[in-house]
Amino acid sequence: MRRGSSLFLLLALPGSSAVAGPLPGETVTRIGQVAAIPADQRTVPGFAGAWRSAAAQGKVLDWIKGLQARATPACRDIRVIDTRQAAPDLIENGARPAHHALESWEVEACGATLSYDVWYRFQKDASRLVVIDAKGADFQSDLDPPYRRLRELAEARRIEEASGKQRWLNLPLPPDTVPVANRSDGQGWSADFAPLGETVQDWTQLVSVQGLPRVRGKGQAVTLLEGMQKARAARCGVPAEEVELLPPGSNAPHGVVARTYLLCPQVPGTNYAEMAVVKAIEGPDWLYVVQRAWRLPADSAEAVRSASREPREAAEAFLTSVQLCDPARERSACPAPFPH
């Protein structure tokens, strides 16, 4: 999907009455697919806009102000209280694939608390935006099956979050970092992020995040990282590094948190080295695996280790802020939540 597509008023389209359930050929993504807005470009509280174009926040706010200016009585005292990603993203697969996203905005207007749905439709040369007052949501969803489906997914997410079994992952991506690959299937989900202009094959820095199905007990994180070390040792001819346990913090009831440093002085068949710091968190819902990697000129193991000292420190600092929070109880630990 293209980033920064123009946003237009989405008029009510002719349609039949809503029928509950999936759309033909739909794909529900576990992860967002639009590049993140840097924190200093966010103009509203909460988490809406984290995976939309920066200009979209202002467009939504202008739309809400316009609706209130035409209300009876009119209101111009508007304050955004909270925003959030309401549902997982939805893709319609067809002749012209469309990527849908839904946010929820809570607004105070002249003392009254109001709720708005913000529905994005990303489509090549035809991206659109609509802001829907919650009072008219049922009518609009009867007319527009994708919006109806997003509302169903939003309700399912609310129920899941309220159960206390779902976690948000804080992922404060470096500036000018954009998605370059993602996957979601029965074996979990993953996403890769690289500096603007680089690809998943041709990158100098990479942030990768995975969600793997949990197994019972506490030990999955360490076992996974030890397996990564053995694979890297066999591939690159270097000894396996240590896997260290980290303080679990608020994650203590659910599992362990572990970290390791991976080094390959020369990736076979290339002229470059790779280093990465990897963190694995055993959540109640997924095993979260996050790594930040760099590519460097190939050299001896000691030379690459020395050259990677600053990237390693940067990777460890980045991973320090990568943690889980419970959206049903405490979100303050996730100022940069990863939508999944």
Three-state SS string over 63-82 comes to HHHHHHHCCCCCCCCEEEEE
Q: Which residues pair with 119 in a beta bridge?
A: 102, 130
CA dihedral over 150, 156, 159, 162, signed as positive or negative = negative
For 26-68, the pLDDT digits (tens) are: 888 776 656 556 666 778 887 776 666 778 889 999 999 999 9
Q: Which residues contact 115 (CB under 8 A, 6 or more apart)?
A: 104, 105, 106, 107, 133, 134
For 171-225, the pLDDT digits (tens) are: 888 877 878 888 877 788 898 999 988 999 999 999 999 999 999 888 999 999 9
pLDDT on residue 328? 82
Residues of the chain with CATH 3.40.1000: 168-338
- Name the 3-class secondary structure at 324: strand
CA distance readout (Å), 40 to 36, 37, 175 = 12, 8, 10
User: Counting beta carbons within 10 angstroms of the beta carbon of residue 279, is it exposed (0 to 12), middle (13 to 18) or buried (19 or more)?
Assistant: buried
Global model pTM greater than 0.85: no
Q: Mean pLDDT in the chain?
A: 86
The yes-or-no verdict on residue 5 having pLDDT over 50 is no
* Domain 168-338 CATH class label: alpha beta
Cβ 101 vs Cβ 120: under 8 Å: yes
pLDDT on residue 339? 67
For 12-36, the pLDDT digits (tens) are: 333 444 567 888 888 887 766 565 5
For 240-296, the pLDDT digits (tens) are: 999 999 998 878 788 999 999 999 999 999 999 999 999 999 999 899 999 999 999
pLDDT on residue 340? 65
